[in-house]
Amino acid sequence: MPDPAWRSLSQSFLPARCISAGPIRRILLACLWTMALSLVWVANAPLHAQTAPDKFIETVSNRALERIRNDPAIAAGNTARVLRFVDEEIMPHVNFERMTALAVGRAWREASPEQRRELIEQFRLLLVRTYSGALSQATDKTVRMRPLRGDAGAAEVLVRSELVGARGDPIQMDYRLERAGQDWKIYDVNVLGIWIVQTYRDQFAQEASAKGLDGLISSLKERNRQAAASSSR
Amino acid sequence: MIRLRPLLLAVVLAAGSSGFAQGATARDPLEPLNRSVFAFNDALDRGLLRPIAQHYVRWVHPGIRQIVGNVFSNLSDPWVGVNNLLQGKPVQALGDFARFGINTVFCLGGLGDLASELGLPRHNEDFGQTLGVWGVPSGPYLVLPLLGPSSFRDATGVVAGSLADPVRRIESEGERTAVALTRVVDARASLLPLDRLIEGAALDRYTFVRNAYLQRRLNLVYDGDPPDEPDSDPEPKE
């Protein structure tokens, strides 16, 4: 550790006058090294242990909020920037295939791989386009975790939080998480108590039973096309 | 909320006589009727209420709008307190009454919201929620003319709320109407940001709004902490 800060630290711990004697000095140094190494080990420990689910949401939320604060283009609703933000900050933490499957419901089982791929892509576009408008509201918000209910060690956990701003009532935001290795993935989100999956399930079922899965896919495409047209206007 | 009861009665009668159409989900047996009321409300909103609210937001200074919102919020706090009391939450109720006292006295009849800054947050309670806390199920979904999404339980709550409404106590009919209309515009203006979201997000706006409304109300009855019910629909397997 050649860096000067470290040297001054070790010097302040080990003033030369106190430890002039060789063996004592060596023992103290050994102790110091042990401490340093254990610190390194502790810092790396989360890589080996399961992250707490609420901690996970807190970290992801804080990172996303910070990026929104620092990038005016996102808050202004620049579609390309918003899409990149979502792809980089949100999507890596979402099991979007499961989210789509849950929203589509029973018809998912009959869907071909190609239909599934299209459903996932169109649903993702729909959510990103419509909810990106809300990002401009998030510039003054901070996240506050609500107490975790249930067992943090379970395979699926409900994590509850709220976004707090300088003005206005707190905005409730809850997440359903599934265990993904050492980490977690989100597979449903609610805002003010309204779950995304449940909100779309009735609409998707209605559309699919009236026009079939391909009908549902083309309705989604049509929706997204309209949204793209109106946002570029 | 003026002249609400005759309208409500008409809805219930119409519901009874139109019969229950096929294809409706369990929570919305009156879907055909609800859809026509929804379409009526929507036309009225697009033709009249929304443009007025948009002009209000465009031409009236945000500070003034904030004050208007504060005054109506303050007027509603005592009723919120009564409902918290009825729901067995005396501490929250006390907070609501304290809010009303503080904002009325120190903010000249509620022009400001000092109480929030003192750490007494506003609560969202109404009689529909109180009935829910008492165990009354929401009953069939109901779209009320002019008032929008509701349910049999929540419509009962709306009637109770309108009976307790302090605006009713205003003597002069002209003033009463003016205050009531201003409140409608204020409420509509606060919902304007949602319009774009619903336009863009919904495949079928009727179904979207119904689903969002029922979830939101359940969430409010449980103060943000509803029981995590197991999915009624089995998860599709790979």
For residue B108, what are its two tokens? 């000249």
pLDDT tens column, B81-93: 999 999 999 999 9
**Residue B123 domain-assigned (yes or no):** yes
Would you call A169 and B202 a contact, using CB atoms and an 8 Å cutoff? no
Would you call B233 and A201 a contact, using CB atoms and an 8 Å cutoff? yes
B13 vs A152 pLDDT, higher one: A152
How far apart, in whole angstroms, are the C-alpha atoms of residue B188 and residue A16?
75
For residue A34, what are its two tokens? 């042990």
In this prediction, residues B27-41 reach a mean pLDDT of 97
Predicted confidence at residue B7, as pLDDT, reads 47
Catalogue the E-assigned strands of chain B: 141-144, 148-151
Residues of A in contact with B216 (CB under 8 A): 192-194
pLDDT tens column, B97-109: 999 999 999 999 8
Find the CB nearest B203 among A101, A102, A207. Answer: A207
- pLDDT exceeds 70 at position A6: no
Predicted confidence at residue B24, as pLDDT, reads 43
Task: Compare all CA atoms of chain B with the CA of A218 and give the residue at the minimum distance.
Answer: B203
| Positive/negative CA dihedral, A32, A37, A43, A45 | negative
Would you call B225 and A160 a contact, using CB atoms and an 8 Å cutoff? yes
Q: Which residue in B114, B115, B120 sits closest to B91, CA to CA? A: B120
**Residue B3 domain-assigned (yes or no):** no
B160 vs A148 pLDDT, higher one: B160
How does residue B13 score in pLDDT terms, banded at 50, 70 and 90? very low
* Cα–Cα distance list, B80 to B65, B86, B149 (Å): 22, 10, 20
Predicted confidence at residue A82, as pLDDT, reads 87
Predicted confidence at residue B188, as pLDDT, reads 95
**Residue B71 domain-assigned (yes or no):** yes
Among A65-74, A76-85, B3-12, B156-165, the range of highest mean pLDDT? B156-165
- pLDDT exceeds 70 at position A45: no
Domain limits at B171? 10-221
How does residue A18 score in pLDDT terms, banded at 50, 70 and 90? very low
**Residue B229 domain-assigned (yes or no):** no
**Residue B233 domain-assigned (yes or no):** no
- pLDDT exceeds 50 at position A16: no
Residues of B in contact with A109 (CB under 8 A): 236-237
Residues of B in contact with A194 (CB under 8 A): 211-212, 215-216, 219
How does residue A151 score in pLDDT terms, banded at 50, 70 and 90? confident
**Residue B22 domain-assigned (yes or no):** yes
Q: Which residue in B197, B112, B124, B193 sits closest to A167, CA to CA? A: B112
**Residue B5 domain-assigned (yes or no):** no
Half-sphere exposure of B137 (CA within 13 A, CB side): 4
Give percent of chain A above pLDDT 70.
84
Find the CB nearest A193 among B207, B224, B231. Answer: B224
- pLDDT exceeds 60 at position B227: yes
CA of A172 vs chain B CAs: smallest distance (Å)? 7
Q: Is B198 left (phi over 0), alpha (psi -120 to 50) or beta?
A: alpha
How does residue A40 score in pLDDT terms, banded at 50, 70 and 90? low
- pLDDT exceeds 50 at position B23: no
Inter-chain contacts counted by CB atoms under 8 A, chains A and B: 89
CA of A79 vs chain B CAs: smallest distance (Å)? 14
How many domains, chain B?
A: 1
Which residues make Cβ contacts (< 8 Å) with residue A158, sequence separation at least 6? Answer: A149, A150, A174, A175, A176, A177, B228
- pLDDT exceeds 70 at position A63: yes
Find the CB nearest A108 among B197, B218, B236. Answer: B236
Q: Say if B63 is an interface residue toward chain A (CB within 8 Å).
A: no
Predicted confidence at residue A166, as pLDDT, reads 79
Q: Which residue in B100, B101, B49, B51 sits closest to B76, CA to CA? A: B100
How far apart, in whole angstroms, are the C-alpha atoms of residue A39 and residue A33?
10
Task: Compare all CA atoms of chain B with the CA of A104 and give the residue at the minimum distance.
Answer: B236
Would you call B212 and A199 a contact, using CB atoms and an 8 Å cutoff? yes
**Residue B231 domain-assigned (yes or no):** no
The pTM score is 0.81
Predicted confidence at residue A150, as pLDDT, reads 78
How far apart, in whole angstroms, are the C-alpha atoms of residue B237 and residue A60?
29
